[in-house]
Structures are given as structure tokens and as C-alpha cells.
A and B are shown apart, each in its own frame.
Chain A
């Protein structure tokens, strides 16, 4: 892997972002709306409830942005190159698949952190909630697991785009929202019906958000639960890497880069 090519692709993604309002909107607009809507609603509920629901919901929202942005950005920046047919020229350069993937991963993390910081500032300004004022080490562990899982999801969706073309782009915006209800972001695992809990318990996100609630309430974290989430996410990332390598191979065989849709 050559670092100058990773930097070139980071520059490519940076220019795409700064030249397009929709890519800038992705980082700030939707997360800000979420913070306002969910924040105001929970602010109201917290007035009539004894549970510290505000910190649970805001904490969940703030961490969710990592999985949301990082997974979606993976696909969207690949799609940008398909839409403009720039992919033809990119794949004629010595750029390696791994270099493109690493640049997408890094860029997604940077965008996630920007969104996270802005949301944290807003939530502090409006609701006096600062997720970093809790256990920073816990936050690092949660964010790391979520990022690894997000990259894996991003890679899988990107594989679909490489394999089947841009008609798969709808997955970029939809897959993450299928995972959300089962991830127990705003409610505990025990609140789910039995059939949904069976799905939720498998997802690493559930273990992270359960851990977040424990941390916010001052309870100790379940090491086993977090280790499971980390192990699952790493295994999924390895599987996703294998899938994308296969998908790129198929795309090259089909001529998807030579004749982008």
C-alpha cells in the first residue's frame, strides 16, 4: 500500500465534499435535526419521568452518528465516482483496492467525528449534556466497536454496488435503518419483544448501547458483552473484506469500471 495514493483519494473525497452542498449537509443537517427533535421530545418526557431519559437518548444519538456516517460514507463516495464515471480513470491508475478502501474508512471516521463534535456542542448548549464528561475510556471503546462494525456494513453495501451496479445505491440509505430498531439505541434490550430481542442480542451495536446506558447510570460495564461486540465486529469486517475483494474481481470481469453505468 502506497500512502501517497491513499492521500490522493482522501483529497478526492475532500474535494467532493467541499464542492457539493449535499455532502456537507450529510455531516451536519440530519444529525442536527435529530438532536433537536429527539432532544426536545426527551426534554419533555424527562420532566414527567424519574429515569434520566435525556442522557440515554442523547448519548445514543451521539454514538449512532459513528455507525451512520461511517457506513454510509463508504458507499456514497464510491457512488460519486460511479455517477461521474470517474471510476474508469481511477481504475486505470495504479490505485489498489486496499488504498481506496482505507481512504474511505479514514474519511468516514473524520466526517463522523466532525458530526459527533457538532452534535455534542449543540446538545451541551441546549440540554447541558456532554457525553465526554462521562467515562472517556468507555466512550473510546464504544466508538471503536461501532466504527469497525460500520466499516464492515459499508464494505458489504459497497460490494453490492460493485457487483450489481448503481441500481443498488438505495441500500446506501436504507440498510443502516434496518439495523437501528434492533440496536437498542434509545431503549434497553429488555424492552423488546422476545423475537426482536433474539435478533438484537446478536448485533454488536446492542451491546454497545447497553454498555452506554450502564456507563451513564454509573454501573460497571460487562467486559464479556463488549468483548463479544468487538469480536463480532472484527470477524464481520474480515468477512466484509473478503466479500468486497470478490465483488471487485467480478466487477472487473464484467467490465463495470470500463463501462460505468
Chain B
């Protein structure tokens, strides 16, 4: 069953002249237990989409069903079974983490709130900070407090909007592990936005790429990367570089040259490199090393976001 089903969702905002379309008639489904990524440049519409689905904003038109229920009619129930986290907004800065978490535990009607808070605080390594006022925390610590809140009610659906921004690499790794395990163990559906492509590639089962309010592609990272046409090849030479240049030119391959190496692009298909290497070897060109750089999600992101 789909946890999220979105049909023809539209959201516009008033502008100086007319209206700006932030979300332009998008439709997609997210399955139960799926870690689903929303990617796109700033202003692509991913946060607006997340905000509509989490009930923070209303859409102009379109249909949102969550847990098989119409969001507008079952908002209270849907919100009590889901939760949100973002690195951009903390809690009341005068209160301690514990005080803030107690309030949210009661809003979500969490039983054994103290045990639950302590257990999650341990996971996100903020137990020693529980009695510290929010205003005394670093941005990373604030984010961890927010992430702790996001799991208080054992959500079946989690909206994570750039929730690892500001975390140091170690804590980002810990956070990813906690989220990955939570998703796996509880079959929790996650809608995830991030600008860290490696993170998206690691965590997300499927990715939707948004551009100018539209979803332009949906697929697994492998499926998306297949669409990239080129992979980068770097050949390292201690001698014979000039000979190699001539052979590449003859074969019609454009390259760039830097000290001791030649870089060029070939099609992103298996075995395309073979005839090139054969040609070099037959002409007795000896290279020290070869490096094939597979396209990454980052390459995909750059290509798609530059597309008009």
C-alpha cells in the first residue's frame, strides 16, 4: 500500500506581478517503508511539497492521501502518526531540551515520556545536554534535539527536510545510521530532502528530481545514473603522453591535459573503454594508471538543475 499518494498538487505564491508557481501539478506515490528522496536546487519546490504533506501549508489544488486517507479530512490522525525534522527551525530557546521534548511528548500523547526521551537522547548523543537551554546549544546540537523529537511518537511517516545540515561528519554518520535503522526496523516511510548527494544515494530507495516546481524524473539512483551519458577517464603517464595524445586525436576523442595525465569522457556504457585501451596498447603506449570515474548523483544533480 502507498503511504503517500499525491495527485496534481499545485501551490502558488503571490509575487509582484501575478503569482509564482512553487509546485506545478506534481503527482507521485511513496510506498510503505520506502526511504524516498526529493532532490532539486533551491526553489525547486521540494520544501513546499514537504510542508504541504506535513500539514504546515495548504495547497491551491490537488489531492493528498496519506495512509490511504484524505489529508484534509483526517489531518489530526495523520499528524499524530507522522513527524517532522529540519535543521532550520529549533524549539523555544528559553526552554531546556528536556522541557521542549516533554511538551512534544504530551502533544503526541507519548506513554512513558521520560524513558522515551532518554532512550532517543542516548541515540542522538544529547543525553548530557537534556537540561541545557536551547539558546546555549550549537546548531548541530539543536538539530539533534529536533531529530530526537521527530522519533518521540514512533512515527510511521517521517518528513526530514535537510535534517543533517550543520552536523559534523561523525554525527551526520550517526544520524544516518539511526534513521536507516529506524526505517528498516519499523517499516517507517521517510520523505527526505538533502543537498548532500552521497547521503541521498546511501539512504534513499527512490529519488524524485524536482526542477521549477515539477518532478522531472523518479527512479532509483542506479536508474537515474544510467541516464548520464558520459563517464570520465583519467590516464596517468610518466612517459609516452605525447604519443597517447596523437592516438586519442586520431580516434576523435577530445581530452584535457594536465601534468602527467590526460582526461577525457566516454559513453557511460560497459566496455566502451576497451577499444581505446586496445589502440593505446597496440601502439605501445604505456600508462602508469587508469582511473574511471562513474557518474555520481552529484553529476546528475548538476546536469538536471542546469537543464532549462
Contact = CB atoms under 8 A, between A and B. Distances in A.
Interface in A1-36: 2, 4-5, 7-9, 11-12, 15-16, 19-20
Interface stretch (A90-98, A128-136, A151-159, A162-170): A90-98
Contact of A15 (B48, B79, B90, B103): B103
A86 interface: yes
A16 B89 contact: no
A91 B56 contact: yes
A6 to B, nearest CB: 10
Contacts of B146: 89
Contacts of A258: 47-48, 51, 56-57
Contacts of B89: 85-86, 88-89, 260
A52 to B, nearest CB: 44
Interface stretch (B94-102, B116-124, B206-214): B94-102
Contact of B107 (A16, A95, A249): A95
A94 B107 CA distance: 7
B13 interface: yes
B57 A255 contact: yes
A35 to B, nearest CB: 28
Contact of A11 (B86, B106, B109): B106
Contacts of A4: 106-107, 109
B92 A93 contact: no
Contact of B13 (A80, A255, A260): A255
Interface in A187-232: none
Contacts of B102: 11
A116 interface: no
Contacts of A12: 92, 103
B79 A94 contact: yes
B149 interface: yes
B186 interface: no
A252 B57 contact: yes
* Chain B interface size range: 35 or more
Nearest to B54: A92
Interface residues of A, number: 34
Nearest to B82: A92
Interface in B68-98: 75-77, 79-80, 83-84, 86, 89-95
Contact of A93 (B58, B91, B94, B107): B107
Contact of A89 (B76, B91, B95, B106): B91
Nearest to A11: B103
Contacts of A241: none
Closest 5 A-B residue pairs measured CB to CB? A8-B106, A258-B51, A258-B56, A88-B89, A94-B79
17 contacts: A5-B106, A8-B107, A16-B92, A16-B95, A84-B94, A86-B90, A89-B89, A89-B146, A89-B149, A91-B55, A92-B56, A92-B79, A93-B108, A94-B108, A252-B56, A253-B58, A258-B51
Interface of A: 2, 4-5, 7-9, 11-12, 15-16, 19-20, 80-81, 84-86, 88-96, 249, 252-255, 257-258, 260
Interface of B: 13, 47-48, 51, 54-58, 75-77, 79-80, 83-84, 86, 89-95, 99-100, 102-104, 106-109, 133-134, 146, 149, 159
Given A255-B48, A258-B47, 15 more contacts: A4-B106, A12-B92, A15-B94, A15-B99, A16-B92, A86-B90, A88-B86, A89-B146, A89-B149, A91-B56, A94-B77, A252-B56, A252-B58, A253-B58, A258-B51
